[in-house]
Amino acid sequence: MQSIYDLSLEDLKNYFINKGEKPYRSVQIFEWLYRFEIRSFDLMTNQKKSIIEMLKSEFSLELLTLKERQISSDKTEKFLFELSDGSLIETVLMNHVYGNSLCVTSQVGCNMNCSFCASGMHKKLRNLSTAELVLQVMSVSNIIGKRISHIVIMGIGEPFDNYSNVIKFMKIANEPKGLEIGARHISVSTCGLVPKIYDFAKEEMQSNLAISLHAPTNEIRDKIMPINSAYPLEVLIPAIKDYINRTNRRVTLEYILLKDLNDTKVCANKLADLIFGMNVYVNLIPYNEVKEKPFKRSLPQVMKEFYDTLKKRGINVTLRQEQGHDIDAACGQLRSKRMNNTTN
């Protein structure tokens, strides 16, 4: 049975029109789903019985099944959810002074195979549906009893490899009758699927775009990100510039610091050369080590020197504050551990 959370407001309007019903019912239903977060169609007290029975016969209201919950000393929470087909996904809640930010997964597994990442240890099985994206937000909100104020689509998978469902999810999240999360409180990340970056620039959305860059040269990026062979820096950078020019929005460049690989002062200067004059800011990320991977976290003083070098070159840069380091912090780590335990 299809989840009703697969439907946008426009989808629901068309559904009622095709059923010979008034389209205004779509707005009423959306409010029940997202404002009141009802768990039974029978609670829709402004709907006639025939409408309720029709919805019950065609749609599900089920949330995701929680399999495991980890809570860090800094209050970061990681949720392991089971989908209807038995697949496992992770969702991460980060508590900030400005609200509750949720890191959402877009695929079951990942085919990008970034060599430092725990997510790529299990290949992509399928894309998540729009409902499975929405339900990560609904399920966590239900568990914690609080509203989610920010969404980052940076969990397991490559969001732009599931482009249509991710875009639809972002629109439902931003819809005033839906999750009602401000567009600028929604961020999506890509490892560099260049055609989709050009597409996203045309969506006329005010949401934030982040690029997983992680290297200042093709030589280094080729070693850690296979996507670079398809879309090297000389192709990726013009796509980023096109996005900035079309949208007049700043782009975040994610850069995980890996010991003795991409964390040298030379790398910092090459990165500054690469992006100089662009409306971007660099988010430096301390590496959460994965035992199956050979990469190590950069030393604190090395990270500080990299940061200082970029600052001196006039680059907008931040060094990410760590969260969830005392739990399975790396993206995909909890899911991978559970899957490995199941197969052993």
pTM, entire model: 0.92
pLDDT tens readout for residues 137-180: 999 999 999 999 999 999 999 999 999 999 999 999 999 999 99
pLDDT of residue 321: 74
Q: Say if residue 76 is in the same domain as residue 154.
A: yes
Model confidence at 292, pLDDT cuts 50, 70, 90, reads confident
What confidence tier does 198 reach under pLDDT thresholds 50, 70, 90? very high
Domain co-membership, 39 together with 120: no
pLDDT at residue 70 in the model: 95
pLDDT tens per residue across span 1-39: 999 999 999 999 999 999 999 999 999 999 999 999 999
Rounded mean pLDDT of the chain? 93
Report the percent of the chain where pLDDT is more than 70.
Answer: 93
Residue 335: is its pLDDT beyond 80?
Answer: no
12 and 150 share a domain? no
**Which of the pair, 120 or 47, is modelled with greater confidence?**
47
Which residue in the list 62, 68, 90, 180 is annotated as catalytic? 90
pLDDT higher than 60, residue 79: yes
Model confidence band, residue 339 (pLDDT cutoffs 50, 70, 90): low
> Contact at 8 Å (CB) between 101 and 150?
yes
Mapped to the 3 state alphabet, what secondary structure does the chain carry? Answer: CEEHHHCCHHHHHHHHHHCCCCCCHHHHHHHHHHHCCCCCHHHCCCCCHHHHHHHHHHEECCCCEEEEEEECCCCCEEEEEECCCCCEEEEEEEEECCEEEEECCCEECCCCCCCCCCHHHCCCCEECCHHHHHHHHHHHHHHHCCCCCEEEECCCCCHHHHHHHHHHHHHHHHCCCCCCCCHHHEEEEECCCHHHHHHHHCCCCCCEEEEECCCCCHHHHHHHCCHHHHCCHHHHHHHHHHHHHHHCCCEEEEEEEECCCCCCHHHHHHHHHHHCCCCEEEEEEECCCCCCCCCCECCHHHHHHHHHHHHHCCCCEEECCCCCCCCCCCCCHHHHHHHHHHHC
Is there a contact between 127 and 162 (Cβ–Cβ < 8 Å)? yes
Domain that holds residue 209: 65-343
**Residue 74: pLDDT band with limits 50, 70, 90:** confident
Average pLDDT over residues 82-86: 96
Residues 185 and 334 grouped into a single domain = yes
CATH code assigned at 26: 1.10.150.530
Q: 36 with 76, same domain? A: no
| pLDDT above 90: residue 307 | yes
* The last residue of a domain, from among 36, 60, 84: 60
Shared domain for 47 and 104, answered yes or no, is: no
Same domain as 69, residue 54: no
Residue 289 among the catalytic residues: no
Of the two residues 328 and 86, the one the predictor is more confident about is: 86
Residues 126 and 15 reside in one and the same domain: no
Q: Which of 16-20, 24-28, 72-76, 100-104 has the lowest mean pLDDT?
A: 72-76
Among the residue ranges 71-80, 198-207, 252-261, 272-281, the one predicted with the least confidence is: 71-80
pLDDT single digits (tens) 225-237: 999 999 999 999 9
Same domain (yes/no): 122, 17: no
Domain termination site, one of 23, 38, 60: 60
Q: Is 219 a catalytic residue?
A: no
Number of domains in the chain: 2
Among 38, 60, 82, give the residue marking a domain's end. Answer: 60
Q: Are residues 180 and 195 in the same domain?
A: yes
Residue % of the chain over a pLDDT of 90: 86
Between CA 131 and CA 64, with CA 52 as vertex, the angle to 5 degrees is 25
* pLDDT for position 97: 86
pLDDT band (50, 70, 90) for residue 122: confident
- Do 103 and 48 belong together in one domain? no
Q: Give the confidence band of 332 by pLDDT, cuts at 50, 70, 90.
A: low
The reply to whether 56 and 100 lie within a common domain is no
Assign residue 258 the CATH number of its domain.
Answer: 3.20.20.70
Q: What is the pLDDT of residue 291?
A: 84
For residue 330, is pLDDT > 70?
A: no
Average pLDDT for residues 187-198, to the nearest whole number? Answer: 98
What does the pLDDT average to over 182-193? 97
pLDDT in the model for residue 326: 60
Identify the pLDDT of residue 325: 61
Name the more confident of 272 and 122. Answer: 272
